[in-house]
Amino acid sequence: MSEARQEILRRLRRGNGGEPHPGSWQSPRTFPDLVSRFVEALEASHGETFVEDDAGAAVSRLERVLVELGARRIVCQDEPPLDSLDLPERLPAFEWHVVGQTTGSLRAICAEADVGVSSAQAALSETGTVVVDSGPGRSRLVTLLPPVHVVLLPADRLVADLFALVEQQEQPLPANVTLISGPSKTADIEQTLAIGVHGPRRLVVIVYS
């Protein structure tokens, strides 16, 4: 065995690369208005946005959206702030199914739902991206299987970009994090865009203060 190879193996066994990890990246991106930038970027990605003054106005907007869609069956995450908005009680005209509260197969319910409603752990203004994760009361099926995904997004969860999001994390990121920029999109070899093939064909984000 060559001397160089022996030295490499010795270093691997010590498990010490000898160099400290670099510090956290400081994002250089700033936007004068995070909401306006988010709306512009998401709509450029075929998403739909509404901006409302408060939570009450956001729920009213959600009701109008559901009526315009002709929606009947809604599946909803059980997460803040949705769990404090009492959507099934405030919008009783629809059939609500809440993650962790409804009996039966969640997969089957989501597959038959007209709309999936979630919030987002954060949103990136630079790219018009909502950030969702899974955990208690939150299922990826809600944001994946129904043909329409509606997000109720508090404006204070907006950050400039992905670097800013990582920088502000006080806890390690969960095992599953999904970044959603508009409805599901794919393209063939000729780059012909198709929407809604592998997920929701519409993404509606209601931003409120």
- Give CA–CA dist 78/98, Å, rounded: 6
Q: Is 149 helix (H, G, I), strand (E, B) or coil?
A: strand
Each as own residue / partner, the long-range contacts of residues 101-104 (CB below 8 Å, 24 or more positions apart, any chain) are 102/75
Supply the pLDDT for residue 17. Answer: 55
State both tokens at 81. 């702030």
pLDDT at 23 over 70: no
Structure tokens at 77: 């995450």
Q: Which residue has the higher pLDDT, 122 or 10?
A: 122
pLDDT at 9 exceeding the cut of 60: yes
Model confidence pLDDT, tens digit, residues 68-107: 999 999 999 999 999 999 999 999 999 999 999 999 999 9
Residue 184 has pLDDT above 70, yes or no: yes
Q: Residue type for 94, please?
A: F
pLDDT at 183 over 90: no
**Mean pLDDT score across all residues of the chain:** 89
pLDDT of residue 66: 98
- The pLDDT tens digits of the residues spanning 29-78 come to 789 999 999 999 999 999 999 999 999 999 999 999 999 999 999 999 99
User: Domain residues of the chain, as ranges?
Assistant: 31-183+193-208
Give the CA-trace dihedral at 31, 35, 41, 43, to 10 degrees.
Answer: -160
How many Å apart are CA 96 and CA 71, to the nearest integer?
11
Among residues 148, 123, 165, 166, the alpha carbon closest in space to that of 37 is found at 123
> What does pTM read for this prediction?
0.83
CA pair distance 187, 142, nearest whole angstrom = 24
Domain covering 31-183+193-208, topology: Rossmann fold (3.40.50)
Q: Following DSSP, what letter does each residue of 13-74 receive, concatenated? A: HHT--SSPPPPPP------S-HHHHHHHHHHHTT-EEEEESSHHHHHHHHHHHHHHHT--EE
pLDDT digits (tens, 9 = 90+) for 121-144: 999 999 999 999 988 899 999 999
